[in-house]
Amino acid sequence: MGCLLLTVCLFVCGSVLLAVSVSAFVEELDDTFMETRGDDDVWLIKFYAPWCSFCKQLDPVWHQIGSELRSLGSPVSVGKADATTSTGLAKEFKVRGYPAILMLKKSVKYNYSGPRTKDGILEFAHRVGGPLIRSLSSLQLFQHAMNRHDVMFVYVGATSQLKGNYTSAAETMIVHTYFFSSTRDVLPKVVSLPSLPAVVVFKDGTYFTFDEKLDGDLKSWINRERFPNYLRIDSYTLYAMGESDKLVALALVEDKSLCEDSRRYKSLMEKVSADYRDIYSRDFYFGFMEGSDYINGLVMGEVVVPSFIVVNLSSDGYVLPPTAVETERQLLDFLNGVLDGSVQFQGGNGVDQRVRRFIYDIRVTLTPMFSKAPLLGCFLVGFPFAIIAVLFHLCRKNRSTVTDDDDDSVGLLAPSLQRHTNRLDKKSD
């Protein structure tokens, strides 16, 4: 018995010490934070609400992030704040939902909108918390950066107005991608630049330079080119692609074992993206998506898998092929039809579409509930209507009471008014 009690005590003490040591890497912040922080401090902050289930699920991940950043000697401090009590701090960071993940670097605030995973958040912290523009001083460093990043932007040349524009773009776009600078002699010999200074993007095994006459604003160009031309796309990536002003051509496939048709659709989309890159790269991103739940919500229906679809996330529009697409020629005809307008977009973000999507989301949410727990579903649906009915009844009852009181007041005043009228008549006689 004594050994058992000792074991239990050691386990409890160890758990408490572990919780204390882990929580020591995450600081609880309040409304005094903006006044007490250092000017050069870099903070990664999670805003939460005590009742938010997603916040509770993220909590252990958040402590792991704090512990790992501390062990790596990162300059990034990790904190969390209850937005329901630290309302001033939440207002300062313009928090609209929970959990909200933001980064404060000097006076600039960066919002994280990627997946709520440890790797995703850590990568965001390393990117934003490090140098705004990383210098590549040797060919070895350049090759190392190329191996680590699918897309990388590099400024080549001396100080210029273009570098100022590049730095300005990096200040806001660092949340999405990495920025580098280098000299001409550091780049591989196969990289040929027509003139200096230049901004070059390396991706998809090749490179191309920014041309102000063809590409317009530098920041807009970086925003358009910050994804690989072909990639695996999830809901977070697809949503972010909506900011690029490019259309996204997708092959929808199964989320687990792929059938033969799915493999063929993926290969066909990848081949077209590579072989016709010069033709379509300014208008399209290409990729494949596993599962169709996100797309079903966009089209408000069931999309057959495997299939092809083109989406415009900036307007919530979509295009499905009017006929079956089985060959490369048919896929090219479909893409060309999207560009020349012969294949019309559906959906959109108009008022009627938003109402339809709201109704669809409610139906999708409630249908599984009714099938699994019909009584609970009836209660959740009927309860709001019952409350509305009671309020309506009370309003009508109150209105009737007021009307009756008005009638009674008029009845009481009538004899007095009559006597007053009679006195006036007598005086006039």
What is the pLDDT, as a whole number, of residue 15?
A: 39
Closest listed residue to residue 157, CA positions, set 200, 213, 216: 200
Where does the pLDDT of residue 18 fall: very low under 50, low under 70, confident under 90, or very high at 90 and above?
very low
- Tell me which of 55, 259, 378, 395 is the catalytic residue: 55
Asked if the model's pLDDT at residue 279 lies above 70, the reply is yes
3-state secondary structure of 314: coil
How many domains does the structure of the chain reveal?
3
What is the pLDDT, as a whole number, of residue 118?
A: 93
Where does the pLDDT of residue 383 fall: very low under 50, low under 70, confident under 90, or very high at 90 and above?
low
Asked if the model's pLDDT at residue 10 lies above 70, the reply is no
What's the pTM? 0.73
Specify the CATH number for the domain of residue 145. 3.40.30.10
The per-residue pLDDT for range 144-179, each reduced to its tens digit, is 999 999 999 999 999 999 999 999 999 989 999 999
Closest listed residue to residue 62, CA positions, set 28, 110, 16: 28
Count of CB atoms within 10 A of residue 8's CB? 10
In this structure, are 301 and 342 located in the same domain?
Answer: yes
Q: Is 52 a catalytic residue?
A: yes
In this structure, are 112 and 73 located in the same domain?
Answer: yes
In this structure, are 45 and 69 located in the same domain?
Answer: yes
Point out which residues pair with 152 in neighbouring strands.
202
User: Which distant-in-sequence residues (6+ apart) come within 8 Å of 327 by Cβ?
Assistant: none
In a domain, 385, yes or no: no
Tokens found for residue 178: 């990495």
Range of lowest pLDDT (59-73, 112-126, 212-226, 370-384): 370-384
In a domain, 10, yes or no: no
Q: Is 9 a catalytic residue?
A: no
Task: State the average pLDDT over residues 78-105.
Answer: 92
In a domain, 363, yes or no: no
- Tell me which of 3, 52, 259, 395 is the catalytic residue: 52
In this structure, are 268 and 216 located in the same domain?
Answer: no
What is the pLDDT, as a whole number, of residue 224?
A: 92
The per-residue pLDDT for range 204-215, each reduced to its tens digit, is 989 999 999 989
Domain boundary among the residues 129, 162, 179 is at 129
The per-residue pLDDT for range 259-272, each reduced to its tens digit, is 999 999 999 999 99
In this structure, are 145 and 41 located in the same domain?
Answer: no
In this structure, are 44 and 113 located in the same domain?
Answer: yes
Domain boundary among the residues 322, 349, 376 is at 349
Point out which residues pair with 357 in neighbouring strands.
none
In a domain, 384, yes or no: no
Domain boundary among the residues 224, 241, 260 is at 224
Domain span including residue 180: 134-224
In this structure, are 212 and 238 located in the same domain?
Answer: no
Where does the pLDDT of residue 19 fall: very low under 50, low under 70, confident under 90, or very high at 90 and above?
very low
